Structure 1
Amino acid sequence: MLKAELRKKYMQKRRALSVDEAFLLSQKILNHFLDYFKPEKGQKVHVFIPIKKFNEVDTRIFIDAFLEKGIRVFVPKVVADDLISVEITENTVFETSSWGISEPVSNEDSGELHFDFVITPLLYCDHKGNRVGYGKGFYDGFFQSISAASKKIGANYFNPDESIDDVWENDIPVDYLVTPTEVLSFFSGVE
């Protein structure tokens, strides 16, 4: 299927989830992530903050779990059409952006280029790690700027069941996909 068709289909599927269903599925995704990757104190995780109106995976519970374990947490923020990475703590002050995203008030880019894990928002991911997002290309640009050793991980309510027919040359796939039922690996590098 084409990205536009998949985007529409999976937005509808996501909207059909109740708040309680989405939260339970998010907890299962978090548990699979923790069991599979076993993040440790001092590691660095870049994780998106969910857009509530799009019923995204609730990564706020991920952030709480990471901070509790002493894992360094970085979140994305769009500043002047660029995606920067802001390190946060329990005391970080947030505001709601024009996109409806809770973001740190700070516009200070951490400058960090190596993350142990980059948890990436997506609407759909196929069996090769190709992803469908909102079509803005922020994460393709971000992936190009960070260390190739950073594990790129999609978090999604749904398992892949169809191919993306219009993958572009500059599209960068994720290395893993974490769903409520499993963790899929597309990683071809040396771990």
Structure 2
Amino acid sequence: MKKSYLRKKYLEKRESLSDEEIFQHSENIFRNFIEYFKPLAQQKVHIFIPIHKFKEVNTGLFTDYFFSRNIKVFVPKIVDTKLIAVEIFADSKFELNNWGISEPVSNEDSGVLDFDYIITPLLYCDKFGNRIGYGKGFYDGFFESVSKESKKIGVNYFNPDENIDDVWEGDIPLDYLVTPRDVLSFFNKGLE
């Protein structure tokens, strides 16, 4: 299937989810992530702040857990058309940007490139780790700049059931996908 078709389809599927379903799915995704990856103190996690109007996975569950366990937390911020990684703390200040998205007040790029985990937003991911985001390419550029050892992990409400036909050579696939039901690995270019 083409990205444009899948983007529309999964935006509609996500839009149909109730607040209760989003809450429950987010909790299951969080639980699956923690049980599978078992993050440790002093590890570095890059994680997105959810856009609530787009019904994204509630990553607040993750950040609260990370802060309580001395895991370092970094979030994306777009500065001059580039995605940077800003380190945040439990008392960090946030503001709404021009698109109504919450982001840290700080514009200071942490310079960190060796994340242990990069928890990534997406609309859909196929069984090869190819992801569909919102079409801006920010994460592909970011993935290109970080350590190859950083685990690129998508979180989504839906398991893969359709392949993406129009994968571009600059698209960088995920290493894992965490859903409410499963943790899927793409290291063999297909589901393990």
What's 1:29 paired with? 29
Cα deviation 1:93-150 (Å, max 9, x = unaligned): 0001122211000000000000000000000000000000000000000000000000
Deviations 1:12-65 (A, max 9, x none): 000100111101100100000000000001000000011111000111111111
Q: Which residue of 1 aligns with 2:39?
A: 39
* Count of aligned residue pairs for this structure pair: 189
Alignment match, 2:142: 142
Aligned-residue sequence identity (percent) comes to 65
Q: Which amino acid aligns with 2:144?
A: Q
How far apart in 2 are the matches of 1:27 and 1:144? 30
TM-score (norm 1): 0.97
- In structure 2, what is the equivalent of residue 181 of structure 1? 181
1:157 to 2:153 alignment:
no
Q: Secondary structure at the match of 1:154?
A: strand
Aligned to 1:52: 52
Aligned to 2:88: 88
The question of 1:10 aligning with 2:6 is answered no
Q: Which blocks of at least 5 consecutive residues in structure 1 are unaligned? A: none
Q: Distance in 2 between matches of 1:139 and 1:93?
A: 23
Letter of the structure 2 residue corresponding to residue 152 of structure 1: K
Q: Residues 188 and 108 (structure 1 numbering): CA distance in 2 closer, same or farther, change over 3 Å?
A: farther
The 5-angstrom pairing of residues 64-103 of structure 1 reads 64-103=64-103
In structure 2, how many angstroms separate the alpha carbons of the residues matched to 1:81 and 1:115?
Answer: 21
CA distance in 2, matches of 1:174, 1:36: 16
Distance 1:71 1:128 in 2: 29
How far 1:69 sits from its partner (Å)?
1.0
Mapped pair 1:126 → 2:130: no
Unmatched segments (≥5 aa) in structure 2? none
In structure 2, relative to structure 1, the CA distance for the partners of 1:67 and 1:20 (3 Å cut) is same
Q: CA RMSD in A?
A: 1.0
3-state SS of 1:8 partner: helix
Q: Secondary structure at the match of 1:83?
A: strand
Query: Structure 2 length as normaliser, TM-score?
Result: 0.97
The alpha carbon displacement at 1:188 in A equals: 4.9
Q: What is the distance in 1 between the residues matched to 2:44 and 2:99? A: 26
Amino acid at match of 2:178: V
Displacement of 1:187 in angstroms is 2.2
Alpha carbons of structure 1 residues 110 and 188: separation in structure 2 relative to 1, 3 Å: farther
Give every structure 1 segment of 4 or more consecutive aligned residues whose post-TM-superposition deviation is greater than 2 Å. Answer: none
